Amino acid sequence: MILRLTRRAQWRSSRARAVAAALFSASLASVVLGALLGAQHRAAGERDVASFAARLEAGAPEKNAFYLTAYEDVIVARGASADAVLAAGDLAALPDAAILRLSDPPTTIPSLAERSPSALLLGSLDFAWVLALLLPLGAIALAYDSVSRDRERGTLAMLLGPARSSGPLLFARTLAVAEVLLVGAFPGLLASFFVDVSAAVVIVAYTFLIAAIVVAISARAERSAVALATALGAWLTFGVAVPLSASAVVRASYPEPDPRARLAGEKGADAVFTRATEGIVATEVGRDPEMDPEQAEDGEFSQLRYDFLLMRERLRRKRGARYESDRVQTQRAETIELAAWLSPTSLVAGVLADVSGTRPLERRAFEKDASAYRGDVERFVRDDILARRSVLEDPERFPRLDRVPAKRRVTAWIAAALFLAGGIGAWFEATRRLNQGGFAPTKEDA
């Protein structure tokens, strides 16, 4: 009965209808723009891959496999599933594809956001952003005076006096506020069901948490103005200041290494081909005796073996030159994922990134997969050289990489449990506060 009456009163309010309409518009726009950005991202990577495949087909009768891969670009798309619609802002910051050369570690092609400022602007309006920033503001607009208003009007005692506990009323008002928020977020909530059920559960639990916190603040405040200021302060602190501060601390804790050291290391790696020594070749032959150039039956394959061994040494040196930079990027991504647990808003955004395959560590995961694929290409080329295949007779034999970004669901279920527990805790605290306190109106309005 209490819940039904509370819901009816909530929906009769023009404020509730306005908040639901604003959230619905933002959610719908975020889902549509996220889908468009995801499609553009996939198209950019697939276009680069198709371009390489066409070059491979055209050059196969004329060039052997080693020269096709050692000195020409092999393009690998990063891969982006339709799940990225929920966190398209993260997708815009990830690379579209990677360039693979046998003599170099994978080099990522800049993402749409890095190549186009408009893509960055487009990617900012994703559903994760709506949940992190707009949904708490909607909850504040709906519920900052949900209890304090009755205290000011002197009707709180009439509502709670006959009841044994204030719990049912507070619970009903929390659910009524959460219902309006979920209706506003319905486009994104519907998309989350198609992405992963765990994402939908997290969104519902997060909405309940935000509604319960605002109602609890209203229950503890003597006046609506105090409740509004407290709720806005909490949102600015935990929704804005904490995530931004965590990001700044991570960047300060793991500064980028001196780029001059990497540049010098890469120049030294390039010198392997221009100033090759017998010691380099002898070391590589010791590691792979079958590739000894002196065992080749003719000059062409002797030179191929020689170049292949130099390529391996150059790759090792380039990896060494990039080690510090790669280590810093990995440490930053790992710490950012841990820092997401400091704030509900950053946590819900991180969970959506997890189930969408756009988490901070996705760039490093892609580079690792690209490196593993580069190893497959190297083995393919090595076998061709040993088999004395002078040309790539069948382009279909060339290794392929069909990569779909991995998603994590464990974090989503843990976050959902924490959100639900936090919402219940806020409700219990507000109930305890009202049960222990008086229901008299504030002095100014008595």
Measured CA distances, 49 to 68, 83, 114, 365 (Å):
15, 21, 19, 19
Of 147, 201, 196, 153, nearest in space to 169 by CA: 147
User: What is the per-residue pLDDT across 38-57, written as a single tens digit (0 to 9) for each?
Assistant: 888 888 778 877 887 787 77
Report helix, strand or coil for 103: coil
State residue 446's pLDDT score. Answer: 40
User: What is the per-residue pLDDT across 149-203, written as a single tens digit (0 to 9) for each?
Assistant: 877 776 665 666 555 567 788 888 899 999 999 999 999 999 888 888 999 999 9
Residue 127 near residue 358, CB atoms below 8 Å: no
Alpha-carbon span 424 to 435, nearest angstrom: 16
Alpha-carbon span 258 to 260, nearest angstrom: 5
Residues in the chain: 446
State residue 445's pLDDT score. Answer: 44
SS (H, E, C) 246-313: HHHHHHHHCCCCCHHHHHHHHHHHHHHHHCCCHHHHHHHHHHCHHHCHHHCCCHHHHHHHHHHHHHHH
Phi and psi torsions of 61, nearest 5°: -70, -15
Q: At what angle do helices 344-356 and 410-436 cross, to 10 degrees?
A: 160
State residue 161's pLDDT score. Answer: 57
Write down the pTM of the prediction.
0.85
Q: Could you tell me the residue ranges of all domains in the chain? A: 1-249+329-446
Strand partners, 100: 74
State residue 11's pLDDT score. Answer: 79
- What is the layout of strands, in order, in the sheet containing 104-109? 74-77, 97-101, 104-109
Report helix, strand or coil for 237: helix
Q: Flag residues of the chain having pLDDT under 50.
A: 444-446
State residue 123's pLDDT score. Answer: 55
Report helix, strand or coil for 17: helix
User: What is the per-residue pLDDT across 188-233, written as a single tens digit (0 to 9) for each?
Assistant: 999 888 888 999 999 999 999 999 999 999 888 888 888 999 999 9
Contacts of 329 (CB under 8 A, 6+ apart): 363, 364
The angle formed by the CA atoms of residues 20, 210 and 427, to the nearest 5 degrees, is 120
**Other residues' Cβ atoms within 10 Å of the Cβ of residue 286:** 9
State residue 442's pLDDT score. Answer: 54
Contacts of 370 (CB under 8 A, 6+ apart): 76, 98, 100, 106, 108, 401
